[in-house]
Amino acid sequence: MALWAGRFTKEIDSRTNDFNSSIRFDARMYKEDITGSIAHATMLAQQGIIGADDVKQIVTELPKIMQEIEDGTLPFDPNAEDIHMFVEAELTKRIGDAGKRLHTARSRNDQVALDIRMYLKKECAEIIGMLKEMTAVFCQQAQEHLETVMPGYTHLQRAQPITFAHHLMAYANMFLRDIERMEQAAVRMNVLPLGSGALAGTTYPIDRTKVADLLGFDSITQNSLDGVSDRDFCIDVAAAVSTIMMHLSRFSEEVILWCSWEFKFVELDDAFATGSSIMPQKKNPDITELVRGKTGRVYGDLMTLLTMMKGLPLAYNKDMQEDKEAVFDAVDTVKLCIKTVIPMVQTMRVINENMRAAAAKGFINATDCADYLVKKGLPFRDAYKITGTLVAYCIECSLTLETVPLEVYQQACSSFEKDVYEAISLETCVKERKVAGGPAPQAVQQQIDYVMQKLQENT
Ligand code: ARG
């Protein structure tokens, strides 16, 4: 019999029950549900709303239920409507009337709003920890490759020389913003909805702030309708997680390219790649392809939440039960991805020579060649044009700017002197880009130091 069976004359149809039930996906909030109930009961007793004896039984029995769930000795009842009903029914089975008093001054609507917030607060903290670990790994790899010259690209065309460290630190900066977004989501959801009741608060003299203190919330929600019908915090998390996935997916795409024979900039450790069932030569970057693929799925979760909420009148509607599978899937997926990417990046072998060779082939020092002429007094547009002619000549004769003879340079422009070779060497091109944020080793070292410093904050 359902706890709400009073006004019904029939048992619920088993198909309706299965359709309606959320226990198979909300059972994972058992800890939050029980912890929330202990705080609620404690407050009820302090306010004289339920007796000291009742609360004693409640707060003694609930931790036992939690322990048994954890030990696996208390299995979830698949027929229960949801985790809230399951815990309450189990409690009542054990302690009778005292258990029936737990739900005084509370509705499942504010209870579920509380549980998800508590659950996601914990998840945010975990994801932030994982993001920090991943960012540190990127910094460590960068530290090893301050001098590893590679081509930087625009339009996937070789553009200007950078270093592998510089490239990695671009991602480290994205991850810093991801951490910030997760922190902001966690702060915004740290508001206690309990006490909103079903939608219109309660007539009992409850102390919401007391419960907020007990459960570690910064404050309480200011409007009971909003308290029970707000799922912005789920959307915040799914949006922040989608952005993390977008970053991971861009990185994955690059790793996939880099692992190809066309690039061969990196080689994944055997433990983080897979083979083919038919082609013996294959070593596939499956991890990164899956990360890229799972990004779509997380975007889908965000879209599920946004679409689910867009037409709902205030306050609670059962549609909102759909929030959990989406937001849980988003956080589960991002954690899985980060957990796998960390050791993959840690162990991947960078093939410096191939990066260097690719950098040498693409005329990526052409800007520096033009800048050389500018330093000799030519206007940039003229210098640009002269260099363009030289590049065209090189392409025709299969030469590079490093190998074309000085006479050719001087025919193109009399300002060229022998020192042009030094000026356009890839090492010089990188070393001279020492502007803050640039690829020069000392500039990237500053980026690494800054990011590492940021990671230390609030840990
Ligand atoms: N299982 C429900 C959910 O996840 C709990 C709230 C149910 N409230 C209600 N009035 N039926 O949304």
Same domain (yes/no): 410, 321? no
Query: What residue has token string 């952005």?
Result: 243
CA of 18 to the centre of ligand 1 (A): 14
Average pLDDT over residues 102-113: 98
Atom of ligand 1 nearest to the CA of 81: 1
Same domain? 369 vs 351: no
Nearest CA to ligand 1 atom 2: 321
- Residue 87's CB: how many other CB atoms inside 10 A? 26
Residue 234's Cβ-side half-sphere holds a number of Cα atoms within 13 Å equal to 30
Residue 52: band (very low, low, confident or very high) from pLDDT cuts 50, 70, 90? very high
The whole-angstrom separation of Cα 56 and Cα 157 is 70
Ligand 1 contacts CB of residue 82 (under 6 A) = yes
Judgement on whether residues 74 and 219 belong to the same structural domain of the protein:
no
Helix 108-144 / helix 323-347 crossing angle, nearest 10 deg: 10
pLDDT in tens, 324-366: 999 999 999 999 999 999 999 999 999 999 999 999 887 989 9
Active site residue 155: yes
Domain final residue pick, 79, 104, 129: 104
Q: Average pLDDT, stretch 77-98?
A: 97
DSSP assignment letter at 274:
B
pLDDT greater than 80 at residue 278: no
Q: Is 163 in the pocket of ligand 1 (CB under 6 A)?
A: no
Nearest-angstrom CA–CA distance, 109 and 194 = 9
Smallest CA separation from ligand 1 atom 3, residue: 321
Question: Last residue of some domain: 357, 388, 421?
Answer: 357
pLDDT at 386: 96
Q: Which residue has the higher pLDDT, 286 or 334?
A: 334
Report the candidate in 146, 123, 34 with the shortest Cα–Cα distance to residue 333: 123
CA of 198, closest atom in ligand 1: 10
Percentage of residues in the chain having pLDDT higher than 70: 99
Range of the domain at 382: 360-456
Is any ligand 1 atom within 6 A of the Cβ of residue 83?
no
Look at residues 104, 119, 149 and tell me which one is the last residue of a structural domain: 104
pTM, full prediction: 0.93
> Ligand 1, from 119, 312, 318, 323: best to mutate by most atoms within 8 Å of Cβ?
318
> What is the count of structural domains for the chain?
3
Question: Which residue in the list 155, 277, 398, 414 is annotated as catalytic?
Answer: 155
Atom of ligand 1 nearest to the CA of 320: 12
- Give the pLDDT mean for 263-267: 96
Q: What is the mean pLDDT of residues 13-26?
A: 94
Residue 458 banded pLDDT, cuts 50, 70, 90? low
Q: Per DSSP, what are the bridge partners of residue 157?
A: 154
Round the average pLDDT of the chain to a whole number and report it.
Answer: 95
Q: 316 in ligand 1 pocket by Cβ < 6 Å?
A: yes
pLDDT category of residue 13 using cuts at 50, 70 and 90: confident
Evaluate: CB of 320 within 6 angstroms of ligand 1. Answer: yes
Q: Are residues 351 and 429 in the same domain?
A: no
Token pair recorded at residue 364: 């990526």
Contact 229 CB / ligand 1 (< 6 Å): no
Q: Which of 3-7, 25-29, 104-108 has the lowest mean pLDDT?
A: 3-7
Element (H, E) at 132: helix 108-144
pLDDT (0 to 100) of residue 459: 62
The answer to whether the bond into 440 is cis (omega within 30° of 0) is no
| CATH number of the structural domain spanning residue 115 | 1.20.200.10
Q: How far does residue 320's CA lie from ligand 1's centre (Å)?
A: 8
Query: Does the Cβ of 112 fall within 6 Å of ligand 1?
Result: yes
CATH number at residue 79: 1.10.275.10
- Looking at the structure, tell me whether residues 156 and 242 fall in a common domain: yes
CA 79 to chain centre: 34
CB atoms closer than 10 angstroms to residue 11:
11
* pLDDT tens digits for range 174-206: 999 999 999 999 999 999 999 999 999 999 999
